[in-house]
Amino acid sequence: MNEKRKRPNYTKEFKQDAVKLVVEQRYSCSEVGRRLGVAASGITRWARQYHQDQHDLDEGGITRKELEAENHRLKKENRLLEIEREILKKAAAFFAKESI
C-alpha cells in the first residue's frame, strides 16, 4: 500500500509541443493539461522555463546555460595553458643555464 507513484517522464518534444499550445495557440495551461493528461502545474513549469530560456538568449542565440558551459570550458583550458606556460618558462631557464 505504501508504493511510491512513479512520475512520468515526458520527452523534450512533448514538452515543447505542450508549450507551443500555450504560447502560440493561447490555450491556458489548465486546458492544455486536461487535453494532454498532464498536471497543469507541469505545463505551467514548462511554459515558465520556455519564457526564461527565451529571455536568456543573447543576440547570438546562445542560452545562459550554454554560455556558462563555454565559460567553464574556457576557464579549464586557461588553467591548463597557464601550467604549460610555467613549465616552458622553467625549461627555458634550465636550458639557458646549461648553455652558459
Question: pLDDT category, 20, cuts 50, 70, 90?
Answer: very high
Which pLDDT tens digit goes with each residue over 21-57?
999 999 999 999 999 999 999 999 999 998 887 776 6
Shared-domain flag, residues 63 and 93: yes
Tally of domains within the chain? 2
Which of these three, 38, 56, 74, is where a domain ends? 56
Shared-domain flag, residues 74 and 85: yes
Q: Is 18 exposed, middle or buried (0-12, 13-18, 19+ CB in 10 A)?
A: buried
7 or 22: which carries more pLDDT confidence? 22
Shared-domain flag, residues 71 and 40: no
What's the pLDDT at 54? 78
> What's the mean pLDDT in 3-17?
88
> What's the mean pLDDT in 76-84?
98
Name the one residue in this structure whose C-alpha cell is 536568456: 56
84 pLDDT exceeds 60? yes
> Is position 73 within any domain?
yes
